[in-house]
Amino acid sequence: MGLGPDALNAGAWNVGKSKGKKKKDDEDEMTGCWMKFRLMGGCMSSRTKVDSSTSGTSTQDAESKCTNDSIKDQPAAPVASSSTTSNTESTLSTPKAAEELKVASQLRKFTFDELKSVTKNFRPVNLLGEGGFGCVFKGWIDENGTAPVKPGTGLAVAVKTLNHDGLQGHKEWLAEVIYLGDLLHPNLVKLYGYCIEDDQRLLVYEFMPRGSLENHLFRRSLPLPWSIRMKIALGAAKGLAFLHEEAERPVIYRDFKTSNILLDADYNAKLSDFGLAKDAPEGDKTHVSTRVMGTYGYAAPEYVMTGHLTSKSDVYSFGVVLLEMLVGRRSMDKNRPNGEVNLVEWARPHLGDRRRFYRLVDPRLEGRFSIKGAQKALQLAARCLSRDPKLDL
C-alpha cells in the first residue's frame, strides 16, 4: 500500500504505447459478428453476475447476433469455425494435447484426484467465485509438488474448473496454459499448473486473498480508498505494459476488466484469465484479424466493428476500467436510467471539462481524493478512450 495519488506519473501510466515495429496483417479470418455465448450455472455459486446472460441456471448454449456496437458479456465463441493461422488458434484447433502442452513443461501437472482432494471434493464452502469458464475453488498444495496438504500449510491455491463446454472451452484452457505458463511478472497472476484428464480441464493458480477488483468496487459496502484505487490502476497498467512491451513475444490480452484484476493481501493487482489472449502483430503488420471476442462494455469500438485487434484495444479497455475506478460505476449498468447505462457514453462529454471533473468522481469517496490526481487520471482515461484512431498513446 502507500502509493499516493502522485503516482500518476507519465512513465508509470504509459500503457500500450506502440513501438511502431510491431505490425501484423490478417492472421485469422473474421467471421463476422455472430457469436455464441454460454448460459452458465450449476456451480452452487452464491455469486450472481450483473449481466443476466451469465447468471442463468441452464447450461444450454445460446446464439446471439451482435450489432456493430455491441458484444456479448462473455468471452464468446463464434458459431462458424474460422480459418485461423495465428499461433494459438491454429495450434488449438487440433487438440493434440500432449504435443500442445510441451510448451508448459515447467508447470506442475496435477491429477484430477489430487485436485479433488485439494479442494475437499470441490466443496461449496471452498467456492471462490464463478465465471464464464467455470467455478473457482480454494485449496492447499505442497510447496513444491502437487500433493494436497492440510489447510493453512503449504501453498494456498485457486483451482479453476472448466465446465464441459466443447472445443471453445478447451481452446481457452489451452491458451491460458500456453500464455500464462510462459509469462512471469509481479502483476500477472501465477499459474502453478494444470490438470488434463479425459474431458476434465482444470487450472491451478496462486490464491489471491483479496479476490477481484470487481468485488471491491461494486459488491462491498465500504468504498475502496482513493490511494488503493490508484495503486491497483498502476499495478494493472504495469501488467498490461509488460504484455505489450516487455514480454519476449508481445501479447494482446483482450479481456481487461475488473473481474480479471485480482488482488493480493497488499492490494497488488495481478491480471488473470488469458483464455482470449493473442500474439501481437509482428513485423510490418498493423493488426491481427480475429473473431470479435471480449466483454460487453470493455471492448474497443473499432475492434468490435472491424475485428482488427491491436494492443490499443487493450488500452481502450484499460480506459474503461480506470473510469470505473474513478467514477465508481460499472461499465454497463442496466439498472441506471437511459443515457447512463453505458459508462463511457455517459462520461465522455464531461471528460474534457477540467473544471467539472469532480462531478464524475465517485461520490462514495466523499471528497477524500487528490484533486490533481483525479484530474490527471480522468485525462488519462479520456486519452485511452479517445475516438481518434491516430492518437498515439
User: Mask: binding to Mg ion, 268-307, rule CB under 5 A, as x and -?
Assistant: -----x----------------------------------
- For residues 147 and 233, the answer to whether their CB atoms sit within 8 Å is no
Q: Which is nearer to Mg ion, 158 or 361 (CB)?
A: 158
CA-nearest of 376, 372, 393, 375 to 384 is: 393
Q: Which of 189, 195, 292, 309 binds ligand ATP (CB under 6 A)?
A: 189
Q: Which is nearer to Mg ion, 208 or 351 (CB)?
A: 208
Identify the residue whose cell numbers are 483482450.
Answer: 254
Q: What are 79's three cell numbers?
A: 458459431
- The CA distances from residue 237 to 263, 346, 388, in Å, are 14, 24, 21
Binding residues among 112-171 for ligand ATP as defined by CB under 6 A: 128-133, 136, 158, 160
Asked whether position 259 contacts ligand ATP by CB under 6 A, the answer is yes
Asked whether position 260 contacts Mg ion by CB under 5 A, the answer is yes
Single out the catalytic residue among 73, 255, 273, 362: 255
CA neighbours within 13 Å on the CB side: how many for 233? 36
255 a catalytic residue = yes
Instruction: Tell me the three state secondary structure of residue 279.
Output: strand
Q: What are 50's three cell numbers?
A: 450483473
Q: Which is nearer to Mg ion, 89 or 273 (CB)?
A: 273
Asked whether position 208 contacts ligand ATP by CB under 6 A, the answer is yes
- For residues 276 and 75, the answer to whether their CB atoms sit within 8 Å is yes
Across the chain, which distance is largest between two alpha carbons, in Å? 60
Q: Look up residue 142 and give its DSSP letter.
A: -
Number of residues that bind ligand ATP (CB under 6 A): 22
**Cα 50 from Cα 223, distance rounded (Å):** 19
Q: Is 72 annotated as a binding residue?
A: no
**Cα 162 from Cα 68, distance rounded (Å):** 30
Q: Which of 16, 139, 193, 211 binds ligand ATP (CB under 6 A)?
A: 211
- For residue 163, the minimal CB distance to ligand ATP (Å) is 10
**C-beta nearest to Mg ion: residue:** 273
| Residue ranges that bind ligand ATP, judged by CB under 6 A | 74, 128-133, 136, 158, 160, 189, 205, 207-208, 211-212, 215, 259-260, 262, 272-273
Interacting residues toward Mg ion by CB under 5 A = 131, 260, 273
Instruction: Give the residue numbers marked as catalytic.
Output: 255
Residues annotated in a binding site: 160
